[in-house]
């Protein structure tokens, strides 16, 4: 999850459409409120994007009701009680223990972190040795943004119609495009009861679909037999001869997190007329206004990973004995 530069329940631009090779997808892994924390682990190191955040480990996050099972979903929240927290506002970042290649990932999400000055939530996939094994940002926005940006980050020599994915030579900005759909992020997403995001990653294209809860969710998704070839046009597609996808996107973990300020939200905080009027700096605002983040949480119904027989490649990275308690958030 890196900076992109533009071109409930509790607990646009013209694109060249790439057609992924049709595949018969079968379920590989399903994560929900029965097993999510068996398949995901907590990241509790300093934030690589320099955020004003303290990522908690599993036991502490669960004890403080920042992570666990609630309201028939997986709850991932932040501390909204502490004023002037030392070292950053407490939050959680989790990633799948398994890594995936050329998969169909379908996330049914009931609630995203609400729009709030200083916040930077994201749902993404990423490989090791960043940016050379790639990153795919599916849900991402900062501060009071109203629609998600779909962004890729890679090493050199990967370009799509959306731009150079190694921009500005480090991969920090990458190549991306706004969804231009207010139902894809934060308040607009939450007002309709959420929805489903699907990432179809093949050797020839990376396609991202969104289906609002109030719209027509494909029956083949609800039946567990997804067929993206019947879904119509994705919200965006990355394809073409400018990037060899298999060599730039490898062994990805699935990630959910919420950070604050940092390299993107902090950098543009003062340029937002609303946020800039609230405090001199992003960190000052986030530290002094815990109640602003009461609705800064994810509530995930499920994440399902499908594969075809040709790309059934995963590696299980770690094991854990963490058993989260259930709570009403």
DSSP-derived secondary structure for 83-129: SS-TTSEEE-EEEESEEESS-EEEEEEEE-PPP-TTEEEEEEEE-ST
Q: For position 126, what pLDDT does the model report?
A: 98
Is 135 assigned a catalytic role? yes
Alpha-carbon gap, residue 278 to 270, rounded angstroms? 9
Token duo for residue 255: 């990630």
Token duo for residue 52: 């004003």
User: Helix, strand, or coil here: 52?
Assistant: coil
Q: For position 15, what pLDDT does the model report?
A: 30
Q: Which residue has the tokens 């800064």?
A: 296
Instruction: Categorize the per-residue pLDDT at 16 as very low, low, confident or very high, splitting at 50, 70 and 90.
Output: very low
**Backbone dihedral angles phi then psi of residue 119, each to the nearest 5 degrees:** -85, 155
Average pLDDT in the 15-21 region?
40
pLDDT higher for 314 or 213? 213
Q: Find all residues with CB under 8 Å of 216, minimum gap 6, and list them.
A: none
Q: For position 308, what pLDDT does the model report?
A: 86
Whether the CB-CB separation of 105 and 254 falls below 8 Å is answered with yes
Tell how strand 67-70 and strand 236-239 pair up: unpaired
Is 140 assigned a catalytic role? yes
Alpha-carbon gap, residue 171 to 133, rounded angstroms? 11
Q: Find all residues with CB under 8 Å of 52, minimum gap 6, and list them.
A: 88, 89, 118, 259, 260, 261, 262, 266, 282, 283, 286, 287
Q: What radius of gyration do the chain's Cα atoms show?
A: 18
Alpha-carbon gap, residue 90 to 80, rounded angstroms? 9
Give the helix ranges, DSSP H, for the chain. 36-39, 58-63, 186-191, 219-222, 245-248, 267-268, 273-276, 282-288
Whether the CB-CB separation of 118 and 260 falls below 8 Å is answered with yes
Residue-wise pLDDT for 154-178, tens only, equals 999 999 999 999 999 999 999 999 9
Residue-wise pLDDT for 282-324, tens only, equals 999 999 999 999 999 999 999 999 998 655 456 655 555 566 6
User: How many CA atoms, within 13 angstroms, populate the side-chain half-sphere of residue 323?
Assistant: 1
Average pLDDT in the 64-79 region?
96
Q: For position 22, what pLDDT does the model report?
A: 54
Q: For position 24, what pLDDT does the model report?
A: 84
Q: Which residue has the tokens 């058993």?
A: 323
Tell how strand 53-55 and strand 236-239 pair up: unpaired
Catalytic pick from 140, 180, 191, 284? 140
Q: For position 6, what pLDDT does the model report?
A: 35
Average pLDDT in the 191-195 region?
98
Residue 177 has a CB neighbour count (10 Å cut-off) of: 22
Q: For position 49, what pLDDT does the model report?
A: 97
Alpha-carbon gap, residue 158 to 155, rounded angstroms? 7
Catalytic pick from 41, 102, 135, 200? 135
Q: What is the pTM of this model?
A: 0.90
Average pLDDT in the 26-44 region?
97
Q: For position 309, what pLDDT does the model report?
A: 63
Q: For position 18, what pLDDT does the model report?
A: 42
- Say how many Å lie between the first and final Cα of the chain, rounded: 27
Q: Lowest mean pLDDT: which of 10-24, 181-195, 275-289?
A: 10-24
Q: Which residue has the tokens 């955020």?
A: 51
Over pLDDT 70: what percentage of the chain?
Answer: 87
Average pLDDT in the 101-107 region?
97
Cis peptide before 309 (omega within 30 of 0): no
If phi > 0 it is left, if psi is from -120 to 50 it is alpha, else beta; for residue 153 that is: beta
Instruction: Categorize the per-residue pLDDT at 266 as very low, low, confident or very high, splitting at 50, 70 and 90.
Output: very high
Q: Is the pLDDT of residue 243 over 70?
A: yes
Tell how strand 104-111 and strand 205-212 pair up: unpaired
Average pLDDT in the 69-83 region?
97
């Amino acid at each position: 999850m890196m900076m992109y530069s533009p071109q409930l329940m509790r607990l646009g631009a013209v694109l060249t459409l790439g057609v992924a090779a049709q595949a018969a997808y079968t379920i590989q892994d399903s994560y929900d409120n029965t097993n999510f924390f068996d398949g995901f682990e907590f990241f509790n190191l300093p934030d690589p994007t320099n955020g004003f955040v303290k990522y908690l480990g599993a036991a502490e996050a669960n004890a403080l009701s920042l992570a666990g099972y609630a309201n028939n979903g997986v709850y991932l929240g932040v501390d909204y009680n502490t004023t002037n927290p030392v070292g950053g506002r407490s939050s959680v970042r989790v990633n799948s223990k398994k890594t995936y290649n050329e998969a169909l990932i379908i996330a049914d999400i009931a609630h995203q972190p609400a729009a709030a000055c200083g916040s930077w939530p994201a749902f993404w996939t990423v490989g090791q040795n960043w940016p050379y094994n790639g990153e795919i940002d599916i849900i991402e926005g900062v501060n009071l943004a109203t629609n998600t940006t779909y962004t890729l980050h890679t090493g050199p020599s990967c370009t799509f119609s959306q731009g150079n994915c190694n921009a500005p030579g480090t991969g920090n900005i990458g190549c991306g495009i706004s969804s231009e759909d207010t139902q894809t992020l934060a308040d607009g997403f939450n007002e309709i009861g959420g929805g489903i995001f699907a990432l179809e990653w093949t050797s020839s294209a990376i396609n991202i679909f969104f289906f609002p809860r109030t719209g027509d969710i494909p029956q083949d998704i609800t039946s567990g037999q997804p067929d993206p070839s019947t879904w119509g046009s994705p919200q965006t597609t990355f394809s073409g001869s400018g990037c060899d996808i298999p060599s730039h996107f490898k062994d990805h973990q699935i990630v959910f997190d919420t950070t604050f300020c940092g390299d993107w939200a902090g950098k543009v905080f003062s340029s937002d007329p609303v946020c800039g009027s609230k405090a001199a700096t992003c960190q000052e605002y986030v530290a002094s206004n815990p109640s602003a983040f009461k609705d800064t949480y994810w509530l995930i119904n499920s994440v399902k990973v499908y594969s075809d027989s040709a790309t059934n490649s995963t590696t299980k990275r770690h094991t854990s004995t963490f058993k989260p308690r259930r709570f009403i958030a």
